[in-house]
Amino acid sequence: MSKIRVTIWNEFRHERKNEGVKKIYPEGLHKAIGTGIACDEFEIRYATLDEPDHGLTDEVLDSTDVLIWWGHAAHAEVRDEIVAKVQQHVWDGMGLICLHSSHMSKIFRLLNGTSGKLHWREVGERERIWCVNPAHPIAAGIPETFVLEHEEMYGEPFCIAWDAQPVFISWFEGGEVFRSGVTFQRGNGRIFYFRPGHEAYRTFYNEMVLRVISNGVRWAAPTLRAPYPKTHREGSYEPISDKGVDFPKAGIILN
Ligand code: ZN
């Protein structure tokens, strides 16, 4: 069986500028995620904001089955033409996993069709994550609930599309709740948003978080990678009777 080709995209700014974050993720959180989900099934590579074309050249996107996205402070610096290319690839079948603050990334908001806004509080509080759809492939091997001792709080209302299907819901020490793991599809492409992953905490070393991301990669891998048909259809499967009227010229209502 061929491997799932995974590209992990990271803004990679906090880890270079902030000493505390650098200590947690010395090589960048993209590398921590990649190391954490590495297995025989995945072929993993990395792309970051400050590379030419943000590391997302046509060649890279053409050979990516699932793109993982982490962005925070520099969403606006992601060039629109690159975002449009990623959107087209998702429409054609590429899987997309948006992590944590990527709820405000251009690509998430574009594909989701909403502002992506939510409430937040950053005091390192406890997060309890509940699996609300244990039959979903992304929940495989995940217990009913697990805890992250320190995380940033994200709270409802979360402005996401109404067709977003929850797999996980979080409860926070301060009392808020949040749809922490949701799936949806745009065109042929499957999209998974997963909430945990603030850069100041060790979230991307957590076994459960990494398992959810791995499951997400398997689930989002393309089942059909092809452009949506866009050509005029000449023939038909069933005979269509001649109506004897040139409708655009006639301008009439028959019945
Ligand atoms: Zn954050």
Give the model's pLDDT for residue 253. 64
Distance of CA 185 from the midpoint of ligand 1 (Å): 25
Give the model's pLDDT for residue 251. 77
Distance of CA 71 from the midpoint of ligand 1 (Å): 9
Distance of CA 84 from the midpoint of ligand 1 (Å): 25
- Tell me which residue of 167, 99, 180, 106 sits closest to 137, measured CA to CA: 167
What is the percentage of the chain residues whose pLDDT exceeds 90?
Answer: 90
Distance of CA 99 from the midpoint of ligand 1 (Å): 10
- Tell me which residue of 237, 251, 149, 140 sits closest to 200, measured CA to CA: 149
Q: Rounded to two decimals, what is the model's pTM?
A: 0.94
- Tell me which residue of 86, 90, 80 sits closest to 58, measured CA to CA: 86
| pLDDT > 90? residue 88 | yes
Distance of CA 198 from the midpoint of ligand 1 (Å): 4
Distance of CA 15 from the midpoint of ligand 1 (Å): 13
Distance of CA 152 from the midpoint of ligand 1 (Å): 6
Average pLDDT of 180-199? 97
Distance of CA 252 from the midpoint of ligand 1 (Å): 60
Distance of CA 231 from the midpoint of ligand 1 (Å): 43
What is the C-alpha separation between 195 and 181, in angstroms, rounded? 6
| pLDDT > 70? residue 151 | yes
Give the model's pLDDT for residue 28. 98
Distance of CA 72 from the midpoint of ligand 1 (Å): 7
Distance of CA 229 from the midpoint of ligand 1 (Å): 39
Q: Please report which confidence band the pLDDT of residue 1 belongs to, taking 50, 70 and 90 as the band edges.
A: confident
Distance of CA 73 from the midpoint of ligand 1 (Å): 9
| pLDDT > 70? residue 75 | yes
Interval 209-244: pLDDT, tens: 999 999 999 999 999 998 877 788 889 999 999 988
Interval 14-61: pLDDT, tens: 999 999 999 999 999 999 999 999 999 999 999 999 999 999 999 999
Domains in the chain (CATH in brackets) are 4-113+182-228 (3.40.50.880)
